[in-house]
Structure 1
Amino acid sequence: MAESLDIIILTYNEEKNIEACLKSTLPLNSNIYIVDSGSTDNTLAICRKFTGNIFDHPFENYAAQRNWALANLPLQGTWIFNVDADHRISEELALELNAILSTQTDADLNGFLISRRTIFMDKWIKHGGHYPTYHANMFRRGYGSCEDKLYDQHFLVNGRTKILKGDIIDIITDSINTFVTRHNHWATLEAQYQFAKKNKPDSTELIQPKFWGNPMQRRRYLKNKYESFPLFVRPVIYFLIRYFIKLGFLDGKTGFVFHFLQGFWFRMMIDIKVYELQKTDSKPDELKA
């Protein structure tokens, strides 16, 4: 018996991305749900050409928005697929998903891990340990949620997962200015998280770090190991491993720009912001205002 699919897409002023995203979902026989947070451009007009399931909800953070959508949308499908506006469903993934949806899956299989294919300045970043990178974007309705984190949130799946071969194509920026602005904001959020984490252990509702676990658990294990290294030293070590040992240099000039910005500059900005928080916290209370 065939199984049904609901696709959830979060939007905010995504007129440059949303049409290509929605077109890439057309090969899938799915119900599309848009959760918008106050777009003022043509995003919603474009969305209405593809679906009438458009909902408005104020944006707090990505985790809260995704979990609100899971809890409040009139979802009907057997499976839920979470897609970002700058994502594209590859032809290979669409074929793979249609094959899965055409039959009844095992009752204990509750999620699928799908790799992102990062496209930066029109180039596929294949090296530096950046591909494949798996995320549990698709799960059985009622068996998934989003981690309650301000940055680097992953979907949690209750039950067995399976790795798929097809990719989500991730168009991560329309310009270097956009990339830098976004990552500066995300560096602030990640710094706040790392600083607060010193005094508060991770929740059991986050992905649990396991070296021998699934790809997401292994990645979280390695991230925790990275965070145990000293500030300002760890970005240097990480970049050297990523660019030389993991062959990031094979991505050419465009790859160098990406690996430098995302693998060194971004992480150094996090450390600088953590250091700033530590300096502020060490001041006497009367000087903290």
Structure 2
Amino acid sequence: MQPPFSFIVLTYNEEIHLPRLLQSIAGLQAPLFVLDSGSMDDTLTIAQSYNATIARHPFVNHPQQWHHALTCFNITTPWVVCLDADHTVTPELYQLLADFNPDGYAGINGIYFNRKNYFKGKWIKHGGYYPFYLLKMFRYGIGYSDLNENMDHRFVVNGATTIWKQGWLLEENLKENQIAFWIDKHNRYSDQLAMEEVERMQQLRIQTIKPRLTGNPDERTAQLKQWWWKLPRYVRPAVYFSYRLIFKLGILDGRTGIIFHFLQGFWFRLMVDIKIDELLKKQHEGRSKRP
């Protein structure tokens, strides 16, 4: 019997990751859809070996790519599960999916999975990185990609959600074991995030999700972002890094974890702040040159 959900996966040169993910969900026998953005390795061959329906679309950013994925395929199941190629479904999450009965979720439109994030082979357990809930499963046609975000992608559903706290989704990008890849990737991300924040300053973007500290995980994040945007640039990366390392016990993640918290919590945020100033300066100079 076909399960009441389909899997959608985004790919780009993911031959190192895709077999791991697809093997972890193969036994569920759910329809599989893969949206690829121009892979030049064996990604599509691997996807075809798992009977995936494949489409191609140029990559702009994750929110736009997910928007296309949710609108280009002929999805016939009432629910979808949206995963990245570097994810792996653990046996506990697999069992929750295998036992999923829509009748037990009347009035629920979305389900959060509990993510475990790995960096250079180490689980980042502290620093605010666990537990960490991602909205990955929702009713098809109700959930959608938040296009008001450039980089920090999330899905949105109207209505009630629930959390599978014991169903873990592992996230480990093996390409990031080479620090040059991580830096290059996050340098690009900092471009996107700096532009997004400048556009928010100029009221060209609004938050899709209502900020609420007592709400669901994404509503709490939306509230924290509002506070973040009000902090002074160049000060906030140091504050955030200290918060993660000390108050959220990131120091307990050991040397590899501390490197991760420094790179992701300080270096990346500092790059964003520097690029915000560069963008504002460029815009100011452009206005000054106008007749």
Structures share fold, TM-score greater than 0.5:
yes
Within a 5 Å distance, the mapping from 1:238-277 to structure 2 comes to: 238-277=240-279
With over 3 angstroms needed to count, the CA separation of the structure-2 counterparts of 1:285 and 1:123, relative to structure 1, is: same
> How far apart, CA to CA, are the structure 2 residues paired with 1:153 and 1:194?
14
Within a 5 Å distance, the mapping from 1:1-289 to structure 2 comes to: 3-101=3-101, 104-148=103-147, 149-165=149-165, 166-172=167-173, 173-200=176-203, 202-203=205-206, 206-283=208-285, 285=287
Moved more, 29-38 or 57-66: 57-66
> How far apart, CA to CA, are the structure 1 residues paired with 2:27 and 2:209?
31
Q: SS in structure 2 opposite 1:167?
A: strand
Q: Which has the higher helix share?
A: 2
CA deviations over 1:86-105 (Å, ceiling 9, x no partner):
1111111111121224x523
Q: SS in structure 2 opposite 1:48?
A: helix
Q: Could you state the TM-score of these two structures normalised by the residue count of structure 1?
A: 0.94
Q: CA deviation at 1:57?
A: 2.0
User: Which 4+ residue blocks in structure 1 deviate beyond 3 angstroms?
Assistant: 201-204, 284-288
* CA contact 1:8–1:83 (8 Å) conserved in 2: yes
> How far apart, CA to CA, are the structure 1 residues paired with 2:206 and 2:264?
27
Q: CA deviation at 1:202?
A: 4.2
The one-letter code sitting in structure 2 at the alignment partner of 1:226 is: W
> How far apart, CA to CA, are the structure 1 residues paired with 2:289 and 2:13?
40
Q: SS in structure 2 opposite 1:143?
A: coil
The one-letter code sitting in structure 2 at the alignment partner of 1:191 is: A
> How far apart, CA to CA, are the structure 2 residues paired with 1:2 and 1:284?
58
* CA contact 1:115–1:132 (8 Å) conserved in 2: yes
Q: SS in structure 1 opposite 2:239?
A: helix
Q: SS in structure 1 opposite 2:104?
A: coil
Q: SS in structure 2 opposite 1:223?
A: helix
Aligned CA-pair RMSD: 1.8
The one-letter code sitting in structure 2 at the alignment partner of 1:50 is: Y
CA deviations over 1:221-241 (Å, ceiling 9, x no partner):
112201210000000011111
> How far apart, CA to CA, are the structure 2 residues paired with 1:117 and 1:32?
23
> How far apart, CA to CA, are the structure 1 residues paired with 2:202 and 2:74?
39
Gaps of 5+ in 1: none
* CA contact 1:110–1:160 (8 Å) conserved in 2: yes
> How far apart, CA to CA, are the structure 2 residues paired with 1:120 and 1:134?
18
Q: CA deviation at 1:59?
A: 2.2
Identity of counterpart residues, as a percentage? 38
> How far apart, CA to CA, are the structure 1 residues paired with 2:115 and 2:52?
28
* CA contact 1:3–1:104 (8 Å) conserved in 2: no
Q: CA deviation at 1:3?
A: 5.0
Gaps of 5+ in 2: none
Aligned residues: 286
With over 3 angstroms needed to count, the CA separation of the structure-2 counterparts of 1:80 and 1:284, relative to structure 1, is: closer
Moved more, 26-35 or 73-82: 26-35
CA deviations over 1:184-224 (Å, ceiling 9, x no partner):
111110000001111116436x2221111111111121122
> How far apart, CA to CA, are the structure 1 residues paired with 2:52 and 2:220?
39
> How far apart, CA to CA, are the structure 2 residues paired with 1:190 and 1:125?
23
Moved more, 88-97 or 185-194: 88-97
CA deviations over 1:134-181 (Å, ceiling 9, x no partner):
121110111100100211011001211000021211113242111111
CA deviations over 1:246-288 (Å, ceiling 9, x no partner):
1000000010110000011000111111111122222253659
> How far apart, CA to CA, are the structure 2 residues paired with 1:181 and 1:260?
16
Q: CA deviation at 1:245?
A: 1.1
Q: CA deviation at 1:18?
A: 1.0
The one-letter code sitting in structure 2 at the alignment partner of 1:82 is: C
